[in-house]
Structure 1
Amino acid sequence: MSLLLILFLFLLSFLVSSSHSIHHSLDDDHFSLPVVKIPVLYVEEEGAPYFLLKLGFGTPRIRYFHLLMDTGSSFTWVQCKPCQVRCFKQPSPIFDPSLSCSYAPIPCHSLECSVLKSATSFPTLPCSDTCKYNQRYLNNDVASIGDFAREMLHLLPNIVVPGFIFGCGQNNTGSPDVFDGVVGLGRNRLSLVDQSSPIYGKVFSFCLPSPQKSNGFLTIGNKGGLPELLTDPEFNYTSLVSLESDPDLYYINLVGISLGDDQTVSIPPFPLAIDTGSTVSLLPTSVYVPLRSAVRKVLSKYSPFPIEPLDTCYNLSSSVIPPAITLNFEGGIVIRLPQSRILLTISPFTCLPFIEIGDDDRNDGIIGGIQLQTLQVLIDVVNRKVGFAEKNCD
Structure 2
Amino acid sequence: MAGRTAARRDLLISLLIVAAAVVGFPSVSASSAVFPIYGNVYPHGVYYVAMNIGNPPKPYFLDIDTGSDLSWIQCDAPCVRCSKGPHPWYEPKRNTLLACSDHLCAALHSGGAYDQKCDQCDYDIHYEDRGSSLGVLVADAFALRLTNTTVARPILAFGCGYNQQFARQNPQAATDGVLGLGTGKVSVPSQLSNQGVTKNVFGHCLSEKGGGFLFFGSDLVPSSRMTWAPMSQVASGNYYSPGMANLYWGTQSLGVKQMDVVLDTGSTFSYFGSQSYKAFLSAVKSDLSKKPLKEFNDPALPVCWKGPKSFKSLTDVKNYFKPLALSFVNGKRVLFEIPPENYLILTKDGNVCLGILNGTEAGLDNLNVIGDISLQDVMVVYDNEKHQIGWVRAACKGQAKSQTSLP
TM-score scaled by structure 1? 0.80
Change (3 A) 1:388 1:92: same
Please point out which of 116, 128, 148 is paired with 2:108.
116
Structure 1 residue 73 and structure 2 residue 63: aligned? Answer: no
CA distance in 1, matches of 2:132, 2:391: 31
Query: Is the Cα–Cα contact under 8 Å of residues 35 and 219 in structure 1 kept in the other structure?
Result: yes
Change (3 A) 1:170 1:346: same
CA distance in 2, matches of 1:116, 1:376: 29
Structure 1 residue 356 and structure 2 residue 358: aligned? Answer: yes
Change (3 A) 1:234 1:97: same
The SS at the match of 2:61 is: strand
Structure 1 residue 138 and structure 2 residue 128: aligned? Answer: yes
Tell me the equivalent position of 2:262.
273
Change (3 A) 1:26 1:79: closer
What do the CA deviations read for 1:35-73 (whole angstroms, capped 9, x no partner)?
21111112466x2531101111111x2111010000011
What's the CA shift for 1:187? 0.3
Q: Mind listing any 5+ residue stretches in structure 1 that lack a counterpart?
A: 1-11, 15-23
The SS at the match of 1:287 is: helix
The SS at the match of 1:97 is: coil
The SS at the match of 1:89 is: coil
AA paired with 1:341?
A: N
CA distance in 2, matches of 1:337, 1:124: 43
Tell me the equivalent position of 1:170.
162
CA distance in 2, matches of 1:243, 1:33: 30
The SS at the match of 1:295 is: helix
Structure 1 residue 287 and structure 2 residue 276: aligned? Answer: yes
Tell me the equivalent position of 1:3.
none
The SS at the match of 1:32 is: coil
Please point out which of 234, 239, 258 is paired with 1:243.
234
AA paired with 1:345?
A: L
Tell me the equivalent position of 1:194.
190
What do the CA deviations read for 1:280-335 (whole angstroms, capped 9, x no partner)?
11111121110011111122254433557943222234243331323233232333
CA distance in 1, matches of 2:380, 2:257: 24
Tell me the equivalent position of 1:252.
242
Query: Is the Cα–Cα contact under 8 Å of residues 135 and 163 in structure 2 kept in the other structure?
Result: yes
CA distance in 1, matches of 2:19, 2:381: 29
Structure 1 residue 335 and structure 2 residue 336: aligned? Answer: yes
Tell me the equivalent position of 1:7.
none
* RCO comparison, higher one (Cα < 8 Å, 6+): 2
What's the CA shift for 1:82? 4.2
What do the CA deviations read for 1:171-199 (whole angstroms, capped 9, x no partner)?
11346331110010000000001000132
What do the CA deviations read for 1:358-394 (whole angstroms, capped 9, x no partner)?
3996343110001001100111112121111112226
The SS at the match of 1:324 is: coil
Change (3 A) 1:105 1:26: closer
Alignment of 1:369-384 (within 5 A): 369-384=372-387
Query: Is the Cα–Cα contact under 8 Å of residues 48 and 344 in structure 1 kept in the other structure?
Result: no
Please point out which of 370, 376, 401 is paired with 1:367.
370
What's the CA shift for 1:355? 1.6
What do the CA deviations read for 1:198-241 (whole angstroms, capped 9, x no partner)?
32121112111222x64x111211xxx44x636x2211111210
Alignment of 1:48-63 (within 5 A): 48-59=44-55, 61-63=56-58
Change (3 A) 1:386 1:123: same
Query: Is the Cα–Cα contact under 8 Å of residues 91 and 177 in structure 1 kept in the other structure?
Result: yes
TM-score scaled by structure 2? 0.78
AA paired with 1:202?
A: N
